[in-house]
Amino acid sequence: MRKKPYMGIRAKALLAVVLLVLVPSLFLAAVAYGLREDVADTARENTVRYLENQIRKDIVKLNSNASECIENYLSKMEVVGKSAGFHIGEHLGSTSVGADVVWGSKYLLQQVNRTALRQVMDGRVYDRNYAAMVNIVGKDRVDAALNYFFENLTLNYSSPHVNESAYSALNEVNEILMDNGSHAMYDFLYSVLLPEEREKLEYILPAGSMLYSFRNVPEMLWSYFASEESGFIVLVPYDAHFSPLFNPQVRNWYEKAKEASEPVWSDAYIDEITKKPMVTYSVPVYRDREFLGVAGFDLLLSTLEKKTEEFLEPGNGFAFTVCRNGNALTYPDERMLGKSLTEDDGEFNMSVREMLNSSEGSGDITVNGKEAFLAYSTVDNTGWKFATVIYYDVIYAEARESADEIGRIIEMKSLYLLMILISVGLITFIATYFTADSFLRDVKRLTKIADEVSRGNFDINMDIGAKDELGDLERSIKRMVNSIKVAMEELEKGEK
């Protein structure tokens, strides 16, 4: 009869260790290795979604902070404007001027003493300012500009220039003089004003010193005061290319302040001097409740544009600002400054129209054929809307870059886990194997002892070393052997 294959305790123990320790460890390691990419991909996807939402929130927060910064900057101009407007009324008519100013009047064609002017032009009276103008520009051109004071002109006081031809002629001569550092035009016209009109100009000249003392906002371009009664306007700084025939009373900044009876920000308009888009903070000036005129403080939109550029890195998107009527106060394309962003029917223009009807908001938008995220908020002290546009490819790129880094970290951690599982399995296998082997050696030794005893060898050496249950068993066997040995000796004695 063929014997069944024999599997000893050692083999069974080794098999048990392999099945219970090594195989599960290797299995878990294999599972970890197989899932590492899936786990990393899932982490990437979740990270991208989370970061995209977080970036949108950051854009909204950035937009709000930018609005506050613009608001704080404008508040500086408002503090200056309100203080200057309050003090100008108190100082009008005083004898102290204290600052050089340039000036003009919408009524100037009627305020000049024509007799005195003709005497100078004909050479009957010498005037050093007239001589300076002739020396720089030429007599023919100077006289052609001044001759408008003698013509029977049709004047339109509802127009900024009153008479376009006279305005252009005087302005062209004055620009040449100013480019040469000469104020001869203003000084000459001042000298030939009718006495009563000169008094009106001198009455408002102290406003110039007040405006000059309040010019502590570095980005402020011009500051000025326009009189309601005389039509005169005084302006600082002294080097402004400013036409003496300017009519301030029909300008947006003047009309809005007069109508509101309180400080206001104008809509965007083209500046008379720089020919660039500008906004003005206008302050009505009163004394004893009598309206005297309006003080204005100018800010070029290009200056405001530079401030908005600080909030975004180039290429990531752009920021823009619109006033309440939808005209662009800041915009990447300078050609759009002062122009409407609401007139067309494009998605961007529709979004701007929606902005004007809400204090803040955000959403998706398509700009220049690119998908983008738009966030906007209101500049409280002006009612302007400041908006930030970030292209989605930038948002995606930032999110994916961070997600890829997280994915790489997860894959690396997965490999570390794999190595740990394999190492733990091998160490446990080796430790268990040697522990089991030690146990089996003790069992084998006890088996040998029992076999010798069964053969009648009671003198076998039993060295008790173990202190566990095998040691107890060994001691029990030893006592049993001793008992049998004593019994056998007693039996032999009885037989004798």
pLDDT tens digits for 41-81? 565 566 666 666 777 788 888 788 878 888 887 888 888 88
| pLDDT value of residue 28 | 59
Q: Is residue 1 pLDDT above 50, yes or no?
A: no
| Cα 227 from chain centre | 41
Quote the mean pLDDT of the chain: 80
Residue reference for tokens 């998908």? 371
Banded pLDDT at 379 (limits 50, 70, 90): confident
Q: Rounded mean pLDDT of 173-192?
A: 94
How does DSSP classify residue 441?
A: H
Tens of pLDDT along 407-446?
A: 566 656 666 666 666 676 677 667 666 666 666 676 777 7
Q: Which amino acid is it at 469? A: E
16 pLDDT exceeds 80? Answer: no
| Residue 136 · residue 180 · CB < 8 Å | yes
How many angstroms separate the CA atoms of 425 and 418, rounded? 11
State the DSSP string of 277-341.
EEEEEEEEEEETTEEEEEEEEEEEHHHHHHHHHTTS-TTSEEEEEE-TTSBEEE-SSGGGBTSBS
Q: Which of 436, 418, 414, 415 is nearest to 18 (CA)?
A: 436
pLDDT at 20: 60
Query: Three-state DSSP class for 114?
Result: helix
In sequence order, which ranges of 107-262 are alpha helices (DSSP H)? 108-111, 114-121, 128-137, 139-146, 164-179, 184-191, 195-204, 206-213, 252-260
**Phi–psi pair at 87, nearest 5 degrees:** -80, -25
Give the percent of the chain with pLDDT over 70. 70
Judged by average pLDDT, the poorest of 97-101, 106-110, 256-260, 468-472 is: 468-472
Supply the DSSP string of 230-266, one letter for each residue: T-EEEEESTT----TT--GGGSHHHHHHHHHTS-EEP
Residue 185 has pLDDT above 70, yes or no: yes
Pick the CATH number of 78-300 from 3.90.660.20, 3.30.450.20, 3.90.1150.10, 3.30.470.20: 3.30.450.20
Q: Any idea where the domains of the chain sit in the sequence?
A: 78-300, 456-495
- 388 contacts 375 by C-beta, under 8 angstroms: yes
What pLDDT is recorded for position 258?
A: 95
Q: What is the pLDDT of residue 338?
A: 79
pTM of the predicted model as reported, rounded to 2 decimal places: 0.67
Upper half-sphere CA count for residue 107 (Cβ side, 13 Å): 18
Check residue 110 and give its pLDDT: 94
Residues above pLDDT 90, as percent of the chain: 28
| Residue, of 337 and 141, whose pLDDT is higher | 141
The backbone region for 343, taken as left when phi is positive above 0, alpha when psi lies in -120 to 50, beta otherwise, is: alpha
- Specify whether the CB–CB gap between 387 and 321 falls below 8 A: yes
* pLDDT value of position 374: 87
Residue 448 in this model has a pLDDT that exceeds 70: yes
Q: How many helices (H) and strands (E) does the chain have?
A: 15, 12
Residue 475 has pLDDT above 80, yes or no: no
